[in-house]
Structure 1
Amino acid sequence: MNDCIKNVVTIEHHGREIYGVSYMPKHVEKCPVVIFSHGYNGSNADFTMNSEYLVSNGVGAYCFDFCGGSVNSKSGLKTTEMTLFTEKEDLCAVIDQVKRWDNIDADNIFLFGGSQGGLVSALAADERIDDVKGMLLLFPAFCIADDWNQRYPTLESIPDTHEMWGMTLGRTFFESIHGYDVFRHIGKFDKNILIFQGDQDEIATLDWSMRASKLYPYVKLEVFPGEGHGFSEAGNRRVAEMTCEFVKVNI
C-alpha cells in the first residue's frame, strides 16, 4: 500500500519482548490508532487486512504477538508460561508505548480484541479507562475461565501441561484462573463498545456476549447471522468497515 508506512516495533517489559507491526498512514501528522489483540494461538498477521483498511482511511494500527500466545509468536515466553494475565500485562505495555508515539493522537487510542484477545482487551480496558477511547470485541471469549474451571475443578486436577488446538498450555495458565469470575473484573469501562458476534459460534457462544453486554453502560452487540468462531471473508470485511466507522464516530 503506497499510503501506508509499515514498521516492525518491539516493546520491552517485565523482562520479555513484544514483537509487533505498526501500520501508519502517510501525510497524517497525528492519527487515531487501533491496537489489535489476537486470539488463542493467533498472531499479529491475523489483522493485516483490518489494519490496511484502517490506514487507507487515515487511521493507524498496531498488531502484536502476545508473549507465549502462539506457537508462531515472535515475542518472548514459552506457550507454557502464558496466562490471561501475562497477556493483559503485554497489552498494557503496548498501550503505554503507543500513547507516546509522536504520530498518533494519544487521546484516541482504541482496543480491538478477537476471542481470547477480546477477553484480555476487556480486562485491560477496565484498568486503563483513561487511556482508551473505545473498544471493539470480535467473538470475545468471556467463557475461558468457566470452561477450564469446569474441566479442572480442583487445583489437584490441573495437569502440568495441556495441548489444545496445536498449542501446549502450562499449569500456570489454569492455576491463574482457578475460581476466577470474569464478570467481576469487567464492566467498569464507561465508553463506547462494539461487540461483533456470530450466532453460530459454538466456542464463545452468543449468550456470553449478551451476558457481558449487560454489564457495560455504552455497548452495542452486533450479531452476524450464520457466522461462527472465525468469520467468513465477507464478515471480516464488514468488521473492518464497521471498525473504521466506529473510530471515526468516536474521535
Structure 2
Amino acid sequence: MSSYQKEIIKIKHRGREIYGVSYMPNSKKKCPVVIFSHGFNGTNIDFAMNSDYLAKNGVGAYCFDFCGGSINSKSDLKTKEMTIFTEKEDLSAVVETIRNWETVDQDNVFLFGGSMGGLVSALVADEYVEEIKGLLLLFPALGIADNWNERFPTLKSIPDTHELWGVQLGRTFFESIHGYDVFDHIGEFNKNVLIFHGNQDEIVELEYGKRAEKLYPHAKIEVFPGEGHGFSDAANKKVAEMTYEFVKANI
C-alpha cells in the first residue's frame, strides 16, 4: 500500500469557487483519477472512504462540494441558486481543470456520481465523451425532472422557494427542469458505464438504473439486494473495490 497526499484544492469558474479535496498517490508517474460527485445535500466527505481506498491503490481522486449543493457546502452559492445545470457547470469546470494537472494521466479521467451527482455526471459524460474514460453511477437520480414535473406540472405552479429535506430550493431549480427529458440528454457516452443500484431504493426506483443500462451502448448494472438509497457499509466497501477494478480494467 503506497501513501498519498490529501490536499484542499479550490477551483474558480463563472465567478464562483468550488471547494474540493484531492487524494493523489505519491507516484512519479501520472495516475488515473476518479472525480466524485455527491448527491443532493451531500458534500465531498461522502466519498472520502472511496477516495482513500483508490489513492492507497495508486488511483487518484477528487471530491468536491457542488456550489449551492448542500446546507453544509464549503463552495460558493446558496442552495436557492443551485440547479442541475449549475452543478453541470461545476463538474465540467472540474473535469477541464483536473485533466491539466501534472500528476494526472489525462487519458484516464473517470466520473463517479451518486444520486443527483450521478445524474449530473451522466449529463457531463455525454458532452465530454473524448475526455472521460469511464462512468460510474451510484443509484443515479435520473427521475428528478420527472418527479418535479409531476409535482409542479405548470410553470405557474412552481413556488418561489420550496424546502426539501431541510434544504431551501429556489424557483430556478424547478423552472430549469420544466419539460426536460433526462433520457434525451444521456446515453451518447460510448465507453464503459457501471451502474450500482439497490433493489430496495425508495427514492430512485431501480427501473431508472435499468433503463439507463439499456440506453448506453456499453453499460452494466450491478443490483445490490436489500440495499436502499444510501448503501450499508459492506455494500459501500464493495462499491469502492468495484470502482478500483473498473478503473484498472479500463485504462
The two structures have a TM-score, normalised by structure 1, of 0.99
SS in 2 for 1:173: helix
Contact 2:194 2:219 in 1 (8 A): yes
2:130 and 2:164 map into 1 onto residues whose CA distance is: 36
1:10 and 1:122 map into 2 onto residues whose CA distance is: 23
What are the within-5 Å matches in structure 2 for residues 100-179 of structure 1? 100-179=100-179
SS in 1 for 2:215: coil
Counterpart in the other structure of 2:61: 61
What's the CA shift string for 1:187-246, capped at 9, x where partnerless? 000000000000000111100111111110000000000000000000000000000000
Counterpart in the other structure of 2:82: 82
Amino acid at match of 2:49: M
SS in 2 for 1:228: coil
Amino acid at match of 1:190: N
SS in 1 for 2:130: helix
Amino acid at match of 1:34: V
Contact 1:28 1:58 in 2 (8 A): no
Amino acid at match of 1:174: F
Contact 2:35 2:61 in 1 (8 A): yes
Misfit runs of 4+, over 4 Å:
none
SS in 2 for 1:113: strand
Counterpart in the other structure of 1:42: 42
Amino acid at match of 1:42: G
Alignment: residue pair count: 251
| Residue 2 (structure 1) shift | 7.2
Contact 1:197 1:222 in 2 (8 A): yes
Amino acid at match of 1:39: G
| Residue 4 (structure 1) shift | 1.4
1:173 and 1:159 map into 2 onto residues whose CA distance is: 10
Contact 2:23 2:62 in 1 (8 A): yes
What's the CA shift string for 1:131-155, capped at 9, x where partnerless? 1000000000000000000000000
Counterpart in the other structure of 1:237: 237
Contact 2:9 2:22 in 1 (8 A): yes
Report the aligned-residue RMSD: 0.9
What's the CA shift string for 1:51-109, capped at 9, x where partnerless? 00001110000000000000000001110000000000000000000000000100000
What's the CA shift string for 1:14-67, capped at 9, x where partnerless? 110000000001134210000000000000000000000001110000000000
Counterpart in the other structure of 2:30: 30
SS in 1 for 2:119: helix
2:115 and 2:65 map into 1 onto residues whose CA distance is: 14
How has the CA–CA distance of structure 1 residues 59 and 28 changed in structure 2, closer, same or farther, with 3 Å as cutoff? Answer: farther
1:210 and 1:160 map into 2 onto residues whose CA distance is: 34
Contact 2:2 2:25 in 1 (8 A): no
Structure 2 portions without partners, runs of 5+: none
Structure 1 portions without partners, runs of 5+: none
2:27 and 2:103 map into 1 onto residues whose CA distance is: 10
2:209 and 2:29 map into 1 onto residues whose CA distance is: 37
SS in 1 for 2:9: strand
1:92 and 1:160 map into 2 onto residues whose CA distance is: 28
2:240 and 2:193 map into 1 onto residues whose CA distance is: 15
The two structures have a TM-score, normalised by structure 2, of 0.99
Amino acid at match of 2:53: Y
What are the within-5 Å matches in structure 2 for residues 85-100 of structure 1? 85-100=85-100
Paired-residue identity, %: 70
1:234 and 1:214 map into 2 onto residues whose CA distance is: 27
How has the CA–CA distance of structure 1 residues 28 and 230 changed in structure 2, closer, same or farther, with 3 Å as cutoff? Answer: farther
1:2 and 1:29 map into 2 onto residues whose CA distance is: 13
1:73 and 1:203 map into 2 onto residues whose CA distance is: 22
